[in-house]
Amino acid sequence: MVVDKFWKDHMLRTKKNPLATEACSSEVLLGRFQANNAALDEIQKCLENYLETKRGAFPRFYFLSNDELLEILSQTRNVHAVQPHLRKCFDNVVKVEFSPEKGSADILGMWSAEREYVAWSEPVQAKGNVEYWLTNIENQMRGTLHDQAVKALAEYPEDGRERDEWLFSSCAQCIIMIDQVEWTSGVTAAIQDIAKGKNKKAMEEFLTFSLEQIEHMVNIVQGDLDKLQRNAMGALIVIDVHARDVIKMMIRSNVDSLNDFDWTCQLRYYWEEDEEAKDFYARQTNTRFRYGYEYLGNGPRLVITPLTDKCYMTLTGALHLNFGGSPQGPAGTGKTETTKDLAKALAIQCVVFNCSDGLDFKMMARFFSGLAQGGAWACFDEFNRINIEVLSVIAQQMLTIQSAVRRKATEFEFGESIIPLNLRFGVFITMNPGYAGRTELPDNLKALFRPVAMMIPDYRLIAQIILYSEGFKTADELARKMVKLYSLSSEQLSKQDHYDFGMRAVKSVLVMAGALRR
């Protein structure tokens, strides 16, 4: 207030007497301005420290700007003021449902961007400091999804065929995950039967069963469904068609052991019970990840191709060794989307950050601090656009966090403070090598990431699976026709147009499939 009053008074005097020499000739004026600047710097420093304490209490605040966080904190008595900022803190929670009872501070559930509502196992009270009841919301989100997943697993039909009611008995995320758990269990049983000599045709029989399930789901999609049910079935069919292709591949490879690489390289889901806890886990090769229970809503899933599988293996292997992942390749090959979809597969929050040459090391340090404390993933798009001087500092910041993760430390020194560490931390970068204005990464930064080349996706397979998810039983033949023009014209296209044209072909499949369904 003192600084503000001084500034207004001085401007008022200047307005009355606008001569520069007279307005600025006071000997004490320079000292007053210097003192006020020092006071403003001190206020700014105190404000940053205050906001840092709030971010430390709820690490997802690190993904909000200072202005957004101040807007929330300045309206602590109005619990509804946090609603517009929830999507930046959570993957797909756009608002929460408050109790309609007058005077009640209970929050009963959450809404996704697709308008899917999930009621919580227990209500959360929006009382006290906002960072504390937002932490309770985060815990209740994870607890509710765990409870619904356990319930969906218990209610799964024994024969796996009469699933009509079960498919819509819980939120789409839990249904998809339990479907993958049951698929893993079925394939495991078939491989064990082959290994023990009980049934040499066990895998072929399970393939027939999977085809029946997919055909039944396509029939459901052709029926009368609301938008949420149609979204859920589309995502489930995308996952199950890839599972069908995996079974066909293993039959061709004569897989007869659970240790065969053709089986262990797949992303598999298990319900594990041990002395410490009962929980869902995802495995791939020699890696093992606990399911994260970040609410993902009821959106579409990425079509899984052999290129996607290769990228998954590299990224999960990098995480297992406490490194980051670095998908590299031309535009339109799915680098960022594949990283985001792996986060969806493991139900982990993934923050996509578009890099530019304006980033400085202080901004990156704050972002890394939030990731390390919150256990989130970050995908830095076009990472090699950052200036080389900043990249060198980022390398040291990354090394500090990765070293703490390897030690399995509960807290570590980062910058000028000691912060807690969530071991789920992960960082991924995407790059377009050879593009103009791109920086070559320093060697000490390259060593912290495991690269994977992303080239031309299988457009026919993508089109086929999209058509299946829209309810077309003759998707194989239709997909070949849809991409025929692309295959005939690809030789006449430049390299960049080659990728762009292919992606336009796939998008046209999606648009036309939806139009035909309507």
Query: Taking all residues of the chain, what is their mean pLDDT, rounded to a whole number?
Result: 85
> Distance between CA atoms of 151 and 6, rounded to whole angstroms?
65
CB atoms within 10 A of CB 461: 21
Given its phi and psi angles, is residue 143 left (phi above 0), alpha (psi -120 to 50 degrees) or beta? Answer: alpha
In the predicted model, is pLDDT for residue 485 greater than 70? Answer: no
pLDDT at 450: 93
pLDDT at 434: 67
pLDDT at 416: 81
Per-residue pLDDT, averaged over 81-110, amounts to: 88
Q: Which residue shows structure tokens 């758990």?
A: 181
Q: How confident is the model at residue 496 (pLDDT cuts 50, 70, 90)?
A: very low
In the predicted model, is pLDDT for residue 201 greater than 50? Answer: yes
**Closest to 188 measured CA to CA, from 122, 260, 95, 279:** 260
Considering only 121-130, 287-296, 354-363, 400-409, which range has the smallest mean pLDDT? 354-363
Structure tokens at 99: 């109790």
In the predicted model, is pLDDT for residue 119 greater than 90? Answer: yes
Are 340 and 352 in contact by the 8 Å Cβ rule? The answer is yes
Q: How confident is the model at residue 360 (pLDDT cuts 50, 70, 90)?
A: confident
pLDDT at 354: 86
CB atoms within 10 A of CB 91: 23
| Of the ranges 8-22, 414-428, 499-513, the best mean pLDDT one | 414-428
In the predicted model, is pLDDT for residue 34 greater than 70? Answer: yes
Per-residue pLDDT, averaged over 286-315, amounts to: 91
pLDDT at 262: 92
Contact partners, residue 198, CB within 8 Å, separation at least 6 = none
CB atoms within 10 A of CB 67: 7
Are 358 and 408 in contact by the 8 Å Cβ rule? The answer is no
pLDDT at 510: 52
pLDDT at 330: 83
Contact partners, residue 384, CB within 8 Å, separation at least 6 = 431, 432, 433, 438, 439, 440, 441
pLDDT at 172: 93
> Distance between CA atoms of 391 and 398, rounded to whole angstroms?
10
Q: Which residue shows structure tokens 């079960």?
A: 166
**Closest to 478 measured CA to CA, from 496, 465, 487, 488:** 465
Per-residue pLDDT, averaged over 180-199, amounts to: 92
Q: Which pTM value belongs to this model? A: 0.86
Provide the percentage of residues in the chain whose pLDDT is more than 70. Answer: 91
Per-residue pLDDT, averaged over 64-69, amounts to: 88
- C-alpha separations of 428 from 7, 190, 225, 443, 468 in Å: 47, 36, 38, 16, 31
SS3 of 195, please?
Answer: helix
